[in-house]
Chains A and B, each alone.
Chain A
Amino acid sequence: MLEARGLSRLAGDRAIVAEVSFGLEQGTVTALTGPSGSGKSSLLRLLVRLDEPTGGTVLLDGADYRNLPPPVLRRRVGLVLQTPFLFAGTVADNVRFGPAQRGERLSDADVDGLLARMGLAGFGERTVDRLSGGEAQRVSLARTLANRPEVLLLDEPTSALDESARGEVEDVVRATIADRELTCLIVTHDPAQAERLAGRILSIDRGRLVGDRSSAARAPGADRPAEAAV
């Protein structure tokens, strides 16, 4: 589905991401773990070209991602950022933003259905400044899913939340992945969360991939064999 080949990014002489290679099989959930500053988020940014690699590339369904227009790549590979960064306006405005870039308008029913699956039924007309941290993060997930991505990248989606909100978001993430059979890569610094959510766990340290193993827990995709492509 998605394959990173020798992906690297240098900042001056320092390698932020160094020669990282791995593959994500269709419908599997993979966690990317590592200490702060190890390059987890930087790697995710490279996968959607929010930063450009200084070496290597990414294949999406076998095709080099540099041959795709960036908006098309980012529609197919959805990234949910650590901080929601919602746009001013209503929740529905945010959910409709992605499809609107392609001239599509989500119906009210589509928006309501998507929000209901995020546990946000009836939130459509609420302005984003009236949301809690957990609600904002679920809106952020909803607006990415509104693009119907083939691959979902989650950058520490619960790290900025308190414990109860973390549980809510994690439940929604788990249900969404199972519901849509998404190919998913979740960045987390929490090993327990990685075990709960993913079938396969990649470890990164100082920009290099240093581990690739199956998760102990059964999670969506846990029954699928891990790719040993490190």
Chain B
Amino acid sequence: MPSLAPNSAALGLAQALVAATLAFAAIAAARSQGIRLERESLVAMVRGLVQVVAVGAVLVIVLAGPVWMWLAAIVLMAGAAGATAARRAARIPGALVLSVVSIAVGSALVIVPMTLLGVIPWAAAGLVPVSSMIIANAMNTGALALDRLRAELLAHRGQTEAALALGASSAVAAQPYVRAAVTASLIPRVDTLRSLGIVWIPGVMAGMLLSGVDPVYAGVYQFAVLAMIFAAAAFTALAATVLARRRSFGFADELVIE
């Protein structure tokens, strides 16, 4: 029986093939019901395999590399996350910059102090993957917040302009919608914390258990990671909505998004 902690590429490939065979069986079962998944699924599986192998190869280099390489990987992740989140906010002027800035600020506000305090280990194998989890979640939350803010402002254009017409600043006029966007964007993160350990055993804890770490410590550290993810997501949502709100109004505090 193979070890639960695979340490060879050949073993990993064998495991991937066995798992893929099961996926093919599911595709065949679907086909027997007239549901044709094979083309799309095959492309997605091949693409996924190539991507994770490539990422694994890059990580081999990064994890063995110098500090600047770890930090460069984290900066690249934040940039890519910003570009992805910006697609949701494409109609807000300057969406790319505000997405990158908000994700970078939100993530840095957590990663830097937590690393200095030793909560995130100062080692490539700790810093890079934990940072990637924080940045990925900040990206999702930031994108949700931007999407929701735009929708709220458009749905409440009348109320927003009524407030402006009464002499309110854009910050006051948009306040209820900024609040709604931040709250809504954090619902998935709150649900994650609420269901922790009951509905699912998250990746960090699963990985630590597979590596033979004490389950109680693995659980507590998983909570620490999720708390950091929540904090970074909240900072990102706040930064993204404040920046997007500013971009949604013109020089005369008039609503300019469409």
Contact in complex: A71, B161 (CB < 8 Å): no
Q: A85 contacts which of B158, B169, B251, B255 (Cβ < 8 Å)? A: B158
User: Does any Cβ of A come within 8 Å of B168's Cβ?
Assistant: yes
Contact in complex: A144, B161 (CB < 8 Å): no
In the complex where A51-B254, A52-B251, A70-B253 touch, is A143 in contact with B158 (Cβ < 8 A)? no
Q: Name the distance in Å between B152's Cβ and chain A's nearest Cβ.
A: 14
Contact in complex: A52, B254 (CB < 8 Å): yes
In the complex where A83-B158, A87-B159, A101-B172 touch, is A78 in contact with B252 (Cβ < 8 A)? no
Contact in complex: B166, A98 (CB < 8 Å): yes
User: Does any Cβ of A come within 8 Å of B163's Cβ?
Assistant: yes
Contact in complex: B162, A72 (CB < 8 Å): no
Contact in complex: B254, A143 (CB < 8 Å): no
Chain B's closest residue to A140 (CB) is B162
Contact in complex: A143, B166 (CB < 8 Å): yes
User: Does any Cβ of A come within 8 Å of B167's Cβ?
Assistant: yes
Report Cα–Cα, A144/B164, bound state, in Å. Answer: 11
Report Cα–Cα, A98/B172, bound state, in Å. Answer: 11
Chain B's closest residue to A87 (CB) is B159
A interface bracket (residues with beta carbon within 8 Å of B): 20 to 34
Query: A69-90 vs B: 1/0 string, CB under 8 Å?
Result: 0111011001101011111000
Give the residues from 150 to 182 in chain B that come closer than 8 angstroms, CB to CB, to chain A: 158-159, 161-169, 172
Chain B's closest residue to A81 (CB) is B162
In the complex where A81-B158, A81-B161, A85-B161 touch, is A49 in contact with B254 (Cβ < 8 A)? yes
User: Does any Cβ of A come within 8 Å of B250's Cβ?
Assistant: yes
User: Does any Cβ of B come within 8 Å of A50's Cβ?
Assistant: yes
Q: B168 contacts which of A66, A84, A97 (Cβ < 8 Å)? A: A97
Contact in complex: B167, A74 (CB < 8 Å): yes
Contact in complex: A101, B254 (CB < 8 Å): no
Chain B's closest residue to A76 (CB) is B167
Give the residues from 177 to 214 in chain B that come closer than 8 angstroms, CB to CB, to chain A: none
Give the residues from 20 to 43 in chain B that come closer than 8 angstroms, CB to CB, to chain A: none
Q: A147 contacts which of B161, B167, B169 (Cβ < 8 Å)? A: B167
Contacts A52-B252, A85-B162, A87-B163 aside, 10 further interface pairs with beta carbons under 8 A come to A49-B254, A66-B252, A70-B253, A74-B164, A81-B161, A81-B165, A86-B162, A97-B166, A101-B166, A143-B166
- A-B pairs, top 8 by smallest CB distance, nearest first, are A85-B158, A49-B252, A85-B162, A98-B166, A71-B167, A75-B167, A79-B165, A70-B253
* A→B interface (CB under 8 Å): 48-52, 66, 70-72, 74-75, 78-79, 81, 83-87, 97-98, 101-102, 140, 143-144, 147
